[in-house]
Each structure stands twice: as structure tokens, then as C-alpha cells.
A = this chain, B = another copy of it.
Amino acid sequence: MIVSIIGTGLIGGSLAITLKEKGTASRVIGVDLDAAHLARAVELNIIDEGASLDVAMERSDLLVLAIPVDAVLQILPRIMDNIRPGQVIMDVGSTKAEILDLVKDHPNRGRFVAAHPMAGTEYSGPDAAVRNLFVHKTMVLCDVKNSDEDALELVENMVDQLQMRTVYMNAEEHDLHTAYVSHISHITSFALALTVLKKEKETGRIFELASGGFESTVRLAKSSPDMWVPIFKHNRSNVLDVLDEHINQLQQMKTLLELEDYDTFYKLIQKSNKIRKILK
């Protein structure tokens, strides 16, 4: 089948590489508002050709929206209006409730499958695209009962070819859980980077002392605001809720340190160690 990837960055590009490699796509057409990105994606052989959205819609069996959530919300209705029979549209955005709400009464709703691969890196753009980004990761499919059976099957087959596990959720569940396990990690990391950059004027010293632990907690702070601001915006209430709890936890630790109540502090750390059971 011919697949069009709208947005030839980290996720779209990595998807394109794998779909071509596996033979899932006989041809991959790339669409990107950023002409330099599109040219680079062709140069890197990530996509077979660049095209306009209209041309891509005319020629492809599957269209994948791999652009920031804001942009999905903008162009999805127009795409759904102009869909050809048999075509399937999927998005891979990081928030789902608003997107699904937007198209819930659309006459072509059945042709749309809402997906979110729980995979990524802190890098962006076509140069960030990599093989095997999705292997053994989780693909969340949302509100699949509203997708046509053949459209869902096409996406599910693709997910299998990507060697991903599939998890089914409704959009609200998805947005809640991703706020907890993904969005708050990014907020924390951005804030930590700002903290250290502000506190630590002699950047040479950071260079010298920063070790693995620091790198691992702040690496997400390299992530693109173009992707993340829309996520925080469209998952605002869940993110605010978990951010509030996170600030409370930090405040509690601060208070315990101020009071020099090291016994309670010890117990808190022990409690946090339970995360061992959840992480591999």
C-alpha cells in the first residue's frame, strides 16, 4: 500500500523507515510544512518523495498524522472531509481526548484510527528518525469501537509489523495515564534543567561533575517545545493535577529537610523505591 506520512520528524520518519523496510508500504510519501525537513527526509531515504497534502491524499491508502497535537486538530477535519473511499487516516499524537471529540460526529469518523506509540527520544526532525524505535514498545489505540473494522484491522496489522504490543483505552483514560507516566516526566525535566542552569553559572563545573544520574533526569529537557507545549495545552487539566501532586511531594521533602526529620524522609524514600516493581 501507499502510505503518506504527514510530518517527517522523529516519529513520522522512524515510522516511514520501518514501514518501507518491512514492505508494509510499497511507497512512502512525505508531507511537511518545513521544506528543508522534507528535502532532508528524501536525502536520508526516509521517504520516497515529498508531496503536498492534496497530492498525498489523492494517492495514498493510509495517511499518518505525525505532527504536533495542535496541528492535528487544525488539519484533521479538512482531511476527513476529503477522504476517498477505503482510505484510512491515523494520528500518532500524544493526547487524544480533544482530537477524538473533534471528529466524533464526522460522517467519515469510521475511517479514522487514533493511535499513540509510547516511544520516542528527546531529539526531533528527520535526522532524529531511527530504525527500531518502536520494537517491543506499546501502541495505544483509543476509542477503537468508533473506527471501521477494516480501518482498525489495517492499523493493527501495521502495529504487528512494527513489533509493538497493543493496548486499548478510551481517550480519557489515555490522557490521564500519559499525564502520569510521560507528561509529568517532561515537566520535571524541563524544570530541573532551568533550576540547574539558573543556579549553576559556572557551566564548566557542570560539565565536570555531571554524571549518569543527572543526565538521565534532565535528558528530556532537550525535547522540542513545538511538540510539548501543545501536549501540555491539550492535556492541561490532567497535567495540572499531577503537577500539583508532584509539587506537594517536593514540598513535603523540603519540610522534612527543614525539620531535620530524617526518619520520615527515610521512609518516604523507601516508599518511592517501590517504583522498582514497576520499572523493569
Mark A residues whose CB is within 8 Å of B: 118-122, 137-138, 140, 165, 167, 173, 177-178, 180-182, 184-200, 203, 205-225, 228-229, 232-233, 236, 239-247, 249-251, 253-254, 257-258, 260, 262, 265-266, 268-280
Q: Which 7 residue pairs across A and B have the least CB separation, nearest first? A: A225-B269, A193-B272, A193-B275, A191-B249, A118-B211, A185-B217, A190-B272
Return the contact of A260 from the options B184, B187, B236 (Cβ within 8 A): B236
Q: How far in angstroms is the closest Cβ of chain B from A136?
A: 11
- Kindly list 7 other residue pairs between chains A and B, CB separation below 8 angstroms, not including A195-B249, A229-B269, A243-B250: A177-B200, A180-B199, A185-B213, A210-B279, A217-B217, A240-B257, A247-B247
A167 to B37, CA, bound (A): 42
Q: How far in angstroms is the closest Cβ of chain B from A66?
A: 16
Cβ of B242 and Cβ of A213 under 8 Å apart? no
Q: Report whether over half of chain A's contact residues are helix, strand or loop; otherwise say mixed.
A: helix
Q: How far in angstroms is the closest Cβ of chain B from A137?
A: 6
Q: Which residues of B contact A200 (CB under 8 A)?
A: 177, 180-181
A49 to B138, CA, bound (A): 47
Residue of B with least CB distance to A222: B276
Q: Which residues of B contact A249 (CB under 8 A)?
A: 191-192, 194-195, 198
Task: Show 12 A/B contacts (Cβ-Cβ < 8 Å), sorted by A.
Answer: A138-B209, A167-B208, A180-B199, A181-B214, A185-B216, A187-B253, A195-B246, A197-B274, A213-B220, A221-B273, A225-B269, A243-B250
Q: How far in angstroms is the closest Cβ of chain B from A190?
A: 4
* Given known A232-B257, A254-B244, contact A266–B225 (CB-CB < 8 A): yes
